Structure 1
C-alpha cells in the first residue's frame, strides 16, 4: 500500500472529509490528560494509529541495539527510544523505536531531526518501509534502518533528498552496517539477529 493511499484513507470516511490532527494538538492532548503519555498510539498523516504490541524478539533486538549504540556518557549524542521526532509534516509525529540525536536541550520541543533512526519490525513492516521513510527523509535523517525480524535482514534508507531516500539496500546475515553520522563500530547483522 503506497503512502499516498494511506494518507487518503486517513482523510475520508464514506462521503465526509475527516479533519486531520496536528502534532501540536496531540502534544496538547497528552499535556491535558486526554491521551495518556503511555498510550500506544502514533500520529501518522493526521490519524492516531495503534502501535503494535512489543514481542520478545522486538525487545531483544532493541536491547542489542542499545548495547551497540553510543554510551549515554558520550558528549556528542543522545539515544532516544520510542520518543517523538518533530518531522516537517505537522500531521505526523512518529515515535521510532530508536533514534540517535545530537546532544542538546529538548525540554521545550522534540528534536526536529536525528542522526540515525531505527525501527524494529515484527508486524509493522508495511508502515515502517512505505510510510515512515518519507517522513524521516523530509526531516533530513541521513540513515533510516528497519530491522525486518521475519525477513532476517535490515532494510536501509540513505541519502535523503526532499521526502525520499535516494539509496535503499538490504543487509543480511554476514553483512555489516555503519551509519554515516554516528561514530560507532559497524553493526554485525548476524549478531543483531542471532537466535531469532
Structure 2
C-alpha cells in the first residue's frame, strides 16, 4: 500500500483555524502539510524574548519585531517563525499576516529543531523570496546567517559566535551576535 499525504491550501488551513479545530495545538503549515511544533524549552523562550526586546530597541520605529506569529507565504505555507522583522505599521496585519514583501528578515531559535530549521524551513523561506534568514543554534551557540538569495536558494551561509552583524535591510545597524543567545 502506498501512503499519500493530503495537502492543504492556505484557504483550507485558514478555514480550519477559523473553526477552532486547531485551538490548543502548536502547528504551522509548511508546503501544504500541517506540522506539529515541539514545545519551546526554557532557554529558547528566554533568549527569544530578550532578542525581541533588543531588536525592538535597535530598530525603534523603522520595523516591527514580531515574536512567534504567523507569516503567509505563497507556497501554501504559514509558518510561525520565532522572530519576524516586518514593515510597519502593524495595523496592516489586522487583515492578513505579513507576506514576503513585508518581511525584512526572519530568525528561528533552534535546539531540537536545528535540522528542520536549516533544511526544510531554509528551503521554504528561500523559495518564498525571504532575502535573509537567521538561525540561532542554541546547541553551539552560534548564529547561522543565510543570505544572497538566487534561484530560490541562499547562496551563502555564515556562522558567527561573536562580533557584530548588520542586517541587509538596515546596513547602518550593528547587532551584537552574542546578545542573541545570552542574557
| TM-score class normalised by the smaller sequence | 0.7 to 0.9
Residues 163, 47 of structure 1: CA spacing in aligned structure 2 closer, same or farther, 3 A cutoff? same
Question: Conserved in 1, the CA contact under 8 Å of 2:136 and 2:180?
Answer: no
The CA distance in 2 between the partners of 1:160 and 1:102, in whole Å, is: 20
Find out whether 1:96 has 2:81 as its counterpart. Answer: yes
2:163 to 166, 169, 175: 175
The CA distance in 2 between the partners of 1:73 and 1:119, in whole Å, is: 18
Alignment length (residue pairs)? 179
The CA distance in 2 between the partners of 1:50 and 1:184, in whole Å, is: 38
The residue number in structure 1 matching 2:49 is 63
Question: Conserved in 1, the CA contact under 8 Å of 2:31 and 2:124?
Answer: no
- Measured after TM superposition, the shift of residue 140 of structure 1 is 2.4
The CA distance in 1 between the partners of 2:179 and 2:104, in whole Å, is: 22
Cα deviation per residue 1:6-40 (whole Å; 9 max; x = unaligned)? xxxxxxxx51322211222111111111211x521
* TM-score normalised by structure 2 residue count: 0.87
* TM-score normalised by structure 1 residue count: 0.82
- Measured after TM superposition, the shift of residue 191 of structure 1 is 3.4
Cα deviation per residue 1:80-139 (whole Å; 9 max; x = unaligned)? 11111111211x211100001111412222111210100000110011000111221223
Question: Conserved in 2, the CA contact under 8 Å of 1:72 and 1:78?
Answer: no
The residue number in structure 1 matching 2:182 is 194
In structure 2, the residue corresponding to 1:70 is in which secondary structure? Answer: helix
Question: Conserved in 1, the CA contact under 8 Å of 2:48 and 2:180?
Answer: no
The CA distance in 2 between the partners of 1:182 and 1:27, in whole Å, is: 33
Pairwise CA RMSD: 2.1
2:143 to 144, 151, 154: 154
Residues 184, 70 of structure 1: CA spacing in aligned structure 2 closer, same or farther, 3 A cutoff? farther
Question: Conserved in 2, the CA contact under 8 Å of 1:69 and 1:184?
Answer: no
Structure 1: gaps spanning 5 or more residues: 1-13
- Measured after TM superposition, the shift of residue 72 of structure 1 is 10
The CA distance in 1 between the partners of 2:81 and 2:179, in whole Å, is: 22
